[in-house]
Chain A
Amino acid sequence: MTTTVTGPRIDVPAGGSAGTPVIEVVDLVKVYKGGTRAVDEISFSVGEGEFFGFLGPNGAGKTTTIRILATLLLPTSGAARVAGIDVLAHPGEVRKQVGFAMQTVAVDPLATGRENLELIGRLRRVPGPELKARIDELLVLMKLTESQKKIVGTYSGGMKRRLDLASALLHRPRVLFLDEPTEGLDPQSRMALWEELESVNGSGTTMFLTTHYMEEADRLCKRIAIVDEGKIVVEGTPAELKRTVGTDVVELQLEADGPDELERQRVGITQMLDGYEPVAEIKPSPSGVQLYVANAAAAIPELVRRLDGNGVRIGALTMHQPSLDDVFLRYTGKTIREEQANVHFSGWY
């Protein structure tokens, strides 16, 4: 299917939204009472088994979109289908197909971990023996087997997150919605949760995640849409998006016997690379030079060949792609971090 996006769209090859879309959103609009236009004509689609993410600052419309897809909120206009079912016409059928781990961890603090899972499993009509096995399996996956009989009020933040995630997976949903799944977690718990999310996706579940953490979107999502002020600004794989920023960074550390020799090598490098097209810019760094190179992976062999001789001694060569920070900056003209100071309330009533 074809999607209309507001802004540049990068065509996605294999592994993208090819095949039957599991989530289809067309011209979705949500205007809250009071006039806040939280979602402003968003369209996108997510393929079966894909790990898709919305990256954007708080207040960009991520939560509103995910709540509409999870049947918790009615859009002002537009259409959305999840697992082939119209979200507006048959919300009950959609609920059978999806799991939703919300931004605020929703667990019953006065019940045990296992009781929490049993209640949701029974409400979802997972048959008794299967439910027991499924709970055991999820407790292992989420590393909660030891504490399953403890009252959840005694759990740490990370444990509650994992329990919440387990309860969203009990019925083996076809689509899992994750709204800021690692918000408020320490770095260690975040990494652990990322691994768990990857293994859930690995078992075939289509994932739709929202986040304002660059690293999270970069690490987990095969494809992302950058959203800002209710619109999709740009869409593509993290690598593609970063490539649109332009150049990669190649860092050369030089072996030199003193500042003078280092400077002499720098001048040498500048001369040797003069006229070599992929190198857009050369900047001195404390122990060498930084080269801004278009498509560095392809250019490096030739680059290294050109740097042979003239007394240049390369100690180390590292390259990295521009981060999603740079991408966000390029398409919105601001950084996600400065946006976060300006959080505006988007309730659901």
Chain B
Amino acid sequence: MGLAYESFLLGRRAFLRWARVPGNWLSTLFFPLIQLVLFSQLFKDIIQLPGFEESSYLAYLAPGQIVFAVFLGVSWVGINLLMDYHSGYLDKLRVTPINHLSILFGEMVPLFFTAALMGGVILVTSIVLGASLVTGIAGALGILALSGLFAIAWAGTSFVPALLTKNEQAAGTLSLLFFPLAFMSTAFVPAERMPEWLQVVNNWNPISYVIEAQRGLMSTGFDPEAMGKALIATAILFVITQAATIWAFRRLTTA
């Protein structure tokens, strides 16, 4: 009970900190928006190749850009805890009689909502530009929920190096792994259009599973198998990165 209440209080603080400086996250949305608009024009005709089932390349591209937005939302997020560490605020919290894990959860839990909001901006933009959303509101909520879970799972890649090195500049080093993974995923072309070795790599790429589930919800309808695979892939990533983050956090905060 205590942990949940304390995480809620600290999570609200983190959410307000995010909401009060909208320039920070609004500006990061430019990158996926530009990719969405520009690539959908640049590679317009690619949709005619076999393997694409969508009505337009924009519709194909949209889910990948939602995940890009989520990634950008969390790629440097470990920096917040480090700023509290260097300012002494973390110590101030540690002197209060709370469960110390709530300090970490208070940073993590709001990411579900902030990332879902950022992914939502891309989703709405895609629909305005002509992409479909065949599963309606329920499907949209599914897309946002997946975005939120993936956000927390990926956030660990920023927290771990940040907490281990106590250096703000390290907060974005490991999370950049997203770029090669995303470019090797089905964000831009379907698996069957990839060279064979990339198809093998793709089978192990969690980002592809998230994108495929979201694409299904936008273009073809509810697909329990795709959703299940996305949840399992996210869960595996989640457990690994969160376990490492909790370990790094304890290392930082143990007296």
B89: chain A residues at CB < 8 Å are 106-108
- The reply to whether the CB of B97 lies closer than 8 angstroms to some CB of chain A is yes
**Quick check: A73 and B255 within 8 Å, CB to CB?**
yes
Whole-angstrom CA separation of A115 from B17 in the bound complex = 12
B88: chain A residues at CB < 8 Å are 102-106
- The reply to whether the CB of A283 lies closer than 8 angstroms to some CB of chain B is no
**Quick check: B92 and A71 within 8 Å, CB to CB?**
no
- The reply to whether the CB of A328 lies closer than 8 angstroms to some CB of chain B is no
Whole-angstrom CA separation of A136 from B95 in the bound complex = 23
Q: A74-B255, A119-B13 given as contacts; is B94 within 8 A of A110 (CB)?
A: no
Interface size on B, residues (CB 8 A): 22
B97: chain A residues at CB < 8 Å are 92-93, 95-96, 124
B194: chain A residues at CB < 8 Å are none
**Quick check: B255 and A120 within 8 Å, CB to CB?**
no
Q: A72-B255, A110-B21, A122-B9 given as contacts; is B87 within 8 A of A104 (CB)?
A: yes
- The reply to whether the CB of B16 lies closer than 8 angstroms to some CB of chain A is yes
Contact of A167 among B13, B20, B92, B255 (CB under 8 A): B92
B17: chain A residues at CB < 8 Å are 108, 110-111
A227: chain B residues at CB < 8 Å are none
A111: chain B residues at CB < 8 Å are 13, 16-17
- The reply to whether the CB of B91 lies closer than 8 angstroms to some CB of chain A is yes
Closest to B91 in A: A72
A123: chain B residues at CB < 8 Å are 6, 9-10, 93, 96, 98
A214–chain B nearest beta-carbon distance, Å: 25
- The reply to whether the CB of A220 lies closer than 8 angstroms to some CB of chain B is no
**Which of B9, B20, B88, B95 has the largest count of A CB atoms less than 10 A from its CB?**
B95
Closest to B17 in A: A110
Q: Count of A-B contacts with CB under 8 A? A: 67
Closest to A88 in B: B255
A226: chain B residues at CB < 8 Å are none
B240–chain A nearest beta-carbon distance, Å: 25
- The reply to whether the CB of A98 lies closer than 8 angstroms to some CB of chain B is yes
B104–chain A nearest beta-carbon distance, Å: 14
- The reply to whether the CB of A324 lies closer than 8 angstroms to some CB of chain B is no
Whole-angstrom CA separation of A93 from B97 in the bound complex = 7
A292–chain B nearest beta-carbon distance, Å: 45
Whole-angstrom CA separation of A164 from B88 in the bound complex = 11
Q: A104-B87, A122-B9 given as contacts; is B20 within 8 A of A110 (CB)?
A: yes
**Quick check: A110 and B16 within 8 Å, CB to CB?**
yes
The digit string for B158-187, where 1 denotes a CB below 8 A from any CB of A, is: 000000001000000000000000000000
Whole-angstrom CA separation of A155 from B89 in the bound complex = 16
**Which of B10, B21, B96, B166 has the largest count of A CB atoms less than 10 A from its CB?**
B96
Whole-angstrom CA separation of A70 from B91 in the bound complex = 10
**Quick check: A71 and B87 within 8 Å, CB to CB?**
no
Whole-angstrom CA separation of A122 from B96 in the bound complex = 10
**Quick check: A120 and B92 within 8 Å, CB to CB?**
yes
B21: chain A residues at CB < 8 Å are 110
Whole-angstrom CA separation of A120 from B9 in the bound complex = 9
B10: chain A residues at CB < 8 Å are 119, 123
Whole-angstrom CA separation of A135 from B104 in the bound complex = 27
- The reply to whether the CB of A100 lies closer than 8 angstroms to some CB of chain B is yes
Whole-angstrom CA separation of A104 from B91 in the bound complex = 10
A199–chain B nearest beta-carbon distance, Å: 22
Whole-angstrom CA separation of A120 from B10 in the bound complex = 10
A124: chain B residues at CB < 8 Å are 96-97
Whole-angstrom CA separation of A91 from B9 in the bound complex = 22
Whole-angstrom CA separation of A107 from B17 in the bound complex = 13
B97–chain A nearest beta-carbon distance, Å: 4
A105: chain B residues at CB < 8 Å are 88
The digit string for B13-36, where 1 denotes a CB below 8 A from any CB of A, is: 100110011000000000000000
A348: chain B residues at CB < 8 Å are 255
Q: Which 6 A-B pairs have the closest CB atoms?
A: A106-B88, A104-B88, A106-B92, A95-B97, A106-B89, A74-B255
For this complex, 18 residue pairs linking A to B, each with C-beta atoms less than 8 Å apart, are A70-B95, A71-B255, A93-B97, A95-B95, A95-B96, A95-B97, A104-B87, A107-B89, A110-B17, A111-B17, A115-B13, A119-B10, A119-B13, A120-B92, A123-B6, A124-B97, A348-B255, A349-B252
Q: Please give 13 more A-B residue pairs, beta carbons under 8 A apart, in addition to A99-B95, A123-B6.
A: A71-B94, A71-B255, A72-B95, A73-B255, A92-B97, A100-B95, A108-B13, A110-B16, A119-B13, A120-B96, A122-B9, A123-B98, A348-B255
